[in-house]
Amino acid sequence: MRLWFRRFVAAIFLGGQVIVHILRGKFNYANIVEQMALVGPESLLIALVTATTIGMVFTIQVAREFINIGAGQIVGGVLSLALTRELAPVLTAVVLAGRVGSAFAAEIGTMKVSEQIDALYILKTDPVDYLVIPRLVACCVMLPLLTVLSIVTGMIGGLIVATSLFGMPARVFLESARNFLEIWDVCSAPIKAVCFGALIAIIGCSWGLTTTGGAKGVGQSTTTAVVTSLLAIFISNFFLSWLMFQGSGSAGSKAI
């Protein structure tokens, strides 16, 4: 626990360093492009499959109950709200934390224990500029894009289930989604995704930079980085949702 707390404090300081370096305009564009390719396209398939199956399962569970109470016409709207506000940004971030956050911690941790980080200092290259900022920018840019695509594929999965298993007209499903969604609902998903992407990158890189103990230490850093990223995503999601969706909603009045 003491080691985790020290790493947590180190991650906070690393976040402050990143902000200062970004404000100074220190970017390694070649590394940013490389990391964007690793974070985005290589995570696309698993993110879309996850979103599609979640949309299908959610529709199965919601549609059967709503149809029983005579409210089947709002299934599309409920799914669209769930995907845009919570499911798509959170689950896509979880996928990225498991795939990309672990890779960041393992790669940078290996560099740390093999003294490659020290070599960067000798070459007068700041690891924050060379390693951390490209990964942060890549996560903050690609995660919102993956989230938007996840919303679309999740809706498609829900539409397929609603029309094929429950005989719901596609027009009713899509009209319900259009009536329920507001601009702020659509905007909230990318905003959350940017925050989650920053957390994943900072935690993964910080845990890698504080790795000690050889190969065993790299494994421990990778595991704890993923667990910490998941906890940070869930906790920050609560506060973001509380800030974004205070007050009474208007979706219920649209359904009546």
Domain boundaries, the chain: 29-237
How do residues 97-133 score in pLDDT, each as one tens digit? Answer: 999 999 999 999 999 998 899 898 888 888 899 999 9
pLDDT of 123 reads 86
Query: What percentage of the chain carries pLDDT values higher than 90?
Result: 66
Q: How far is CA 238 from CA 139, 179, 205, 231, in A?
A: 20, 26, 24, 11
* pTM for the whole structure: 0.91
pLDDT tier at 68, thresholds 50, 70, 90 = confident
Instruction: Provide mean pLDDT across the span 170-195.
Output: 92
Residue 251: band (very low, low, confident or very high) from pLDDT cuts 50, 70, 90: low
Contacts of 215 (CB under 8 A, 6+ apart): 113
C-alpha–C-alpha distance, residues 103 and 97, integer Å: 9
pLDDT for position 124: 85
Asked if residue 242 has pLDDT above 80, the reply is yes
Phi, psi of 40 (to 5 degrees): -85, -75
pLDDT-wise least confident of 20-24, 101-105, 141-145? 20-24
**Rounded mean pLDDT of 2-29?**
87
Q: Per-residue pLDDT for 6 more than 90?
A: no
- Residues 196-239: pLDDT tens digits? 999 999 999 999 999 888 888 899 999 999 999 999 999 999 99
- DSSP annotation of 27 reads -
Residue 20 CA to residue 23 CA, distance in Å, equals 5
Q: What pLDDT is attached to residue 60? A: 92
pLDDT value of residue 49: 95
